[in-house]
Chains A and B, each alone.
Chain A
Amino acid sequence: MTTQTIRRTPLYDTMLKAGGRMVDFHGWELPVQFAGILQEHRAVRNDCGLFDVSHMGQVFVTGKDAHAFVQKVNANDIKAEPGRGAYSHVLNERGGLVDDVIPFCLSAERFLIVVNSATTDKDFAWFQKQAAGMDVKLENASDRFGMIALQGPKAPQLMAEFWPDAVKLPRFWIMETKIHGEQGFICRTGYTGEDGCEIIASPAAIVKVWNELFEKGGKYGLVPCGLGSRDTLRLEAGYLLYGSDVDDDHNSYEANYGWVVKPKKGEFIGKEAAVRAKAEGIKRKLTGVMLTQGGVPRPGCAILRNGEKIGELCSATFSPLIGKGIGVGYMVPPDLKEGDALEVEIHGKRIAAKVAKVPFYQNKV
């Protein structure tokens, strides 16, 4: 291992001033919380919240083969329709996940792929390898941009004060626009299960946008949010966390995200392995767990059924909305039924739980 210096986003000073409690998150100094995770979580479910997600990566794909390239590295069918984006999995040859990403079509020959922070360098190296022989230029633009996520049922109202056209876009679409005179993007995406958008802009512009949103956000109940509520919100909404829930050795079907894989679209890396995995049937499946008695489950806790260990929790927390412990873990067998009795081992004690439907929470978005 090489020693890595901790990185700060363009919003670091802004986060400190807003009362952010900073932690080291995969080499990034980011706020885990401001006023408190529960309060921030509820704000996003009921009003709206703003997150610094500048650690996320941006990769531009340009050239005559841009669409062919994006299709080659994605399991989902990415349309060459300007403005359209989609949630997707980048697969390795074994069908495992290199990353989960959101590719957007900007024009016929230009795409933007938003990638996870901890995997940005790995993804870029993977993309470069796959681009060999294709008429395509790749740019890892992650250092050129900051990114923030405005999320919550009232987010569209606040968005409308700045980018009324973006409000009209369907979920997962993108709008390219000048933000404080520089290249920027408004994406109708998020990681909370609520309506809203993610804003990508230059480091200087993203700080201005953050402050402007707060100048107008008071009447919509806007609060700054940290990584803590980001995690509780995404887990309730059933979203995967790369590195915890999925990785190079787990496939989309096992993760219960088989819908992402579109074998009919044509060739793509990992297709053969994915098709085979589906045909053979999966042996383990990422399954939801909800505690039926008190306690807070954590990643790594053993899951038991009839006294036997059948898996471990990959992600787990206290659900602020449900008021109970929730989590997901790979379980064998993969065909457990909702409501099946389980136990989760917490601090050496077996706590009653059951198989739960994922997502744990779904709004009308």
Chain B
Amino acid sequence: MFNPEKCKYSRTHEWACAENGVAAVGISDYAQHEISDIVFVELPKVGAKIEQGKRCAVIESVKAASDFFAPVSGEVVESNDALVAEPALANQSPHEKGWFCKIKISNPAELDALMDYAAYQKFCKETKH
């Protein structure tokens, strides 16, 4: 479980949960609800270098494709194969079984630019209305 209250969030609704220089990343509950019915995900390969704010994964729902933007820069050290096999995990369990990948953080300062849980909750409310 990547405790939602301890995650940091991007304005594009990805979360990052950093520990010992590695961040697990995924999509927020708000995002999974908005996207709805995720039926396919394409994740970055282990070893790939990704950059904060750049597209690094694709999410397909029945209705539309969405981009997953990397919430932090770094090298992909692990990719969630279970999510590829069962994309609905991103809907059912966005902060646990539905994580996308783990990134070895190259610039820890980037985390400071992300929202904390309270700020993100407020951001979602404002986005909705």
| Interface contact B62-A232, CB-CB below 8 Å | yes
- In angstroms, Cα B61 to Cα A143, docked, is 34
* A36-B60 in contact given A296-B65, A347-B65 (Cβ < 8 Å): no
Q: Which of B17-63 contact A (CB under 8 A)?
A: 36-37, 39-40, 42, 58, 60-63
List A contacts of B37 (CB < 8 A): 33, 36-38
Residue of B nearest to A23 (CB): B63
How many chain B residues touch the partner (CB < 8 A)? 12
| Interface contact B36-A295, CB-CB below 8 Å | no
Residue of A nearest to B62 (CB): A37
List B contacts of A228 (CB < 8 A): 62-63
- In angstroms, Cα B65 to Cα A228, docked, is 14
* A318-B39 in contact given A295-B60, A296-B60, A347-B58 (Cβ < 8 Å): yes
List B contacts of A347 (CB < 8 A): 58, 65
| Interface contact B65-A318, CB-CB below 8 Å | no
List A contacts of B63 (CB < 8 A): 32-33, 37, 228, 317
CB of A285 closer than 8 Å to a CB of B: no
- In angstroms, Cα B39 to Cα A232, docked, is 13
| Interface contact A296-B39, CB-CB below 8 Å | yes
- In angstroms, Cα B37 to Cα A37, docked, is 7
List B contacts of A36 (CB < 8 A): 36-37
- In angstroms, Cα B62 to Cα A232, docked, is 8
List A contacts of B39 (CB < 8 A): 38, 296, 318
CB of A281 closer than 8 Å to a CB of B: no
Q: Which of A222-276 contact B (CB under 8 A)?
A: 228, 232
CB of A298 closer than 8 Å to a CB of B: yes
Q: Mark A203-232, 1 if CB is under 8 A from B, else 0.
A: 000000000000000000000000010001
CB of A27 closer than 8 Å to a CB of B: no
Q: How far is the CB of B35 from chain A (nearest CB, A)?
A: 11
Q: How far is the CB of A232 from chain B (nearest CB, A)?
A: 6
| Interface contact A295-B62, CB-CB below 8 Å | no
| Interface contact A318-B40, CB-CB below 8 Å | yes
- In angstroms, Cα B60 to Cα A7, docked, is 30
Q: How far is the CB of B61 from chain A (nearest CB, A)?
A: 8
- In angstroms, Cα B62 to Cα A219, docked, is 28
Q: How far is the CB of B50 from chain A (nearest CB, A)?
A: 17
CB of A294 closer than 8 Å to a CB of B: yes
List A contacts of B65 (CB < 8 A): 296, 298, 347
CB of A320 closer than 8 Å to a CB of B: yes
Q: Which of B50-93 contact A (CB under 8 A)?
A: 58, 60-63, 65, 84
A-B contact pairs, 30 of them (CB 8 A): A32-B63, A33-B36, A33-B37, A33-B63, A36-B36, A37-B36, A37-B61, A37-B62, A37-B63, A38-B39, A38-B62, A228-B62, A228-B63, A232-B62, A294-B40, A294-B42, A294-B84, A295-B40, A295-B60, A296-B39, A296-B40, A296-B60, A296-B62, A296-B65, A298-B65, A317-B62, A318-B39, A318-B60, A318-B62, A320-B62
